[in-house]
Amino acid sequence: MFLTIGELINSTRDEVKKALKEKDEDFIRKLAREQHEAGADAIDLNAGESRDEEKNDMDWLIDIVEDEIDDVRIAIDTPDPEVLEFGLEKVRNKPVINSISNEDDKAAAREVASGYDADIIGLAMGEEGMPQTVEDRLNETEALLEKCDKLGIDKDQLYVDVIAMTIGSNQEQGQYVIDSVRGIKEKLGVKTNIGLSNVSFGLPNRALINRTVFAMLLEAGLDAALIDPTDTEMMDTLKAAEALLGEDKSCLGYLKYIRSK
Amino acid sequence: MFLTIGELINSTRDEVKKALKEKDEDFIRKLAREQHEAGADAIDLNAGESRDEEKNDMDWLIDIVEDEIDDVRIAIDTPDPEVLEFGLEKVRNKPVINSISNEDDKAAAREVASGYDADIIGLAMGEEGMPQTVEDRLNETEALLEKCDKLGIDKDQLYVDVIAMTIGSNQEQGQYVIDSVRGIKEKLGVKTNIGLSNVSFGLPNRALINRTVFAMLLEAGLDAALIDPTDTEMMDTLKAAEALLGEDKSCLGYLKYIRSK
The answer to whether B190 faces chain A, any CB pair under 8 Å, is no
ipTM score: 0.96
Scored b (16 or more CB within 10 A) or e, A116-130 reads: bebbbbbbbbbeeee
Question: What number is the average pLDDT over the span A146-158?
Answer: 97
Contact assignment for B209 to A236 by CB distance below 8 Å: no
Domain assignment present for residue B246? The answer is no
Question: What number is the average pLDDT over the span B86-106?
Answer: 97
Say what the pTM is: 0.97
Crossing angle of helices B232-244/B206-220, nearest 10°?
30
Residue B181 has pLDDT above 90, yes or no: yes
The answer to whether B201 faces chain A, any CB pair under 8 Å, is no
Domain assignment present for residue A16? The answer is yes
Contact assignment for A205 to B237 by CB distance below 8 Å: no
Within 8 A of A251 by CB-CB distance, chain B residues are 167-168, 171, 203
pLDDT of residue B261: 86
Residue A241: name the closest of B244, B164, B214, B196 by CA. B214
The answer to whether B216 faces chain A, any CB pair under 8 Å, is yes
Domain assignment present for residue A253? The answer is no
Cis peptide before A99 (omega within 30 of 0): yes
Question: What number is the average pLDDT over the span A223-252?
Answer: 96
Q: For the residues of B25-47, what is the DSSP string, one character each?
A: HHHHHHHHHHHHHHT-SEEEEE-
Question: What number is the average pLDDT over the span A64-88?
Answer: 97
Which residue in B has a C-alpha nearest to residue A233's C-alpha?
A: B208
Q: Label residue B219 by pLDDT band (50, 70, 90).
A: very high
Task: Give percent of chain B with pLDDT exceeding 70.
Answer: 100
Within 8 A of B176 by CB-CB distance, chain A residues are none
pLDDT of residue A261: 86
Question: What number is the average pLDDT over the span A91-100?
Answer: 98
Please give the single-letter amino acid code of residue A163.
I
Domain assignment present for residue B216? The answer is no
pLDDT of residue A166: 96
Question: What number is the average pLDDT over the span B219-236?
Answer: 97
- Bin B195: left if φ > 0, else alpha if -120 < ψ < 50, else beta: beta
**Average model confidence (pLDDT) across chain A:** 97
Q: For the residues of A117-181, what is the DSSP string, one character each?
A: --EEEEES-BTTBS--SHHHHHHHHHHHHHHHHHTT--GGGEEEE-----TTT-TTHHHHHHHHH
Which residue in B has a C-alpha nearest to residue A206's C-alpha?
A: B240
Domain assignment present for residue A38? The answer is yes
Which of B194, B235, B244 is the mutation pick for testing A, counting most A CBs within 10 A?
A: B244
Domain assignment present for residue B19? The answer is yes
pLDDT, tens digit, 9 for 90 and up, residues B131-161: 999 999 999 999 999 999 999 999 999 999 9
Instruction: Specify whether the CB–CB gap between A57 and A28 falls below 8 A.
Output: no
The answer to whether A258 faces chain B, any CB pair under 8 Å, is yes
Task: Give percent of chain B with pLDDT exceeding 90.
Answer: 98
Contact assignment for A251 to B212 by CB distance below 8 Å: no
pLDDT, tens digit, 9 for 90 and up, residues A101-141: 999 999 999 999 999 999 999 999 999 999 999 999 999 99
Burial (Cβ within 10 Å: 0-12, 13-18, ≥19) of residue A71:
exposed
Instruction: Specify whether the CB–CB gap between A148 and A119 falls below 8 A.
Output: no
Residue B185 has pLDDT above 90, yes or no: yes
CA dihedral B172, B178, B181, B185 (to 10 degrees): -120
**CA angle, corner A190, sides to A183 and A129, nearest 5?**
70
Pairing relation of β-strands A3-6 and B96-101?
unpaired
Within 8 A of A246 by CB-CB distance, chain B residues are 171-172, 174-175
- What number of other Cβ atoms are within 10 A of residue B193's Cβ? 28
Q: Which sign, positive or negative, has the C-alpha torsion B240, A228, B210, B62?
A: negative
Contact assignment for B215 to A215 by CB distance below 8 Å: yes
Helices H, strands E: what count in chain B?
10, 8
The answer to whether B252 faces chain A, any CB pair under 8 Å, is no
Pairing relation of β-strands A119-123 and A158-161?
parallel
Question: What number is the average pLDDT over the span B189-205?
Answer: 97
Count of domains observed in chain B:
1
Scored b (16 or more CB within 10 A) or e, A19-58 reads: bbeeeeeebbeebbeebbebbbbbbbbbbbbbeeebbebb
Within 8 A of A207 by CB-CB distance, chain B residues are none
Domain assignment present for residue B56? The answer is yes
Which of A178, A214, A219 is the mutation pick for testing B, counting most B CBs within 10 A?
A: A219
Which of A177, A198, A244 is the mutation pick for testing B, counting most B CBs within 10 A?
A: A244
Task: Give percent of chain A with pLDDT exceeding 70.
Answer: 100
Residue B41 has pLDDT above 90, yes or no: yes
**Average model confidence (pLDDT) across chain B:** 97
Domain that holds residue B20: 3-204+221-227
Contact assignment for A245 to B174 by CB distance below 8 Å: yes
Question: What number is the average pLDDT over the span B53-63?
Answer: 98
Distance separating alpha carbons of residues B187 and B61, to the nearest angstrom: 39
Contacts across the A-B interface (CB distance below 8 Å): 102
Scored b (16 or more CB within 10 A) or e, B121-140 reads: bbbbbbeeeebeebebbbbb
Residues facing B126 on adjacent strands: B129
Domain assignment present for residue A199? The answer is yes
- The CATH number linked to A166 is 3.20.20.20
Instruction: Specify whether the CB–CB gap between B174 and B167 falls below 8 A.
Output: yes
The answer to whether B238 faces chain A, any CB pair under 8 Å, is no
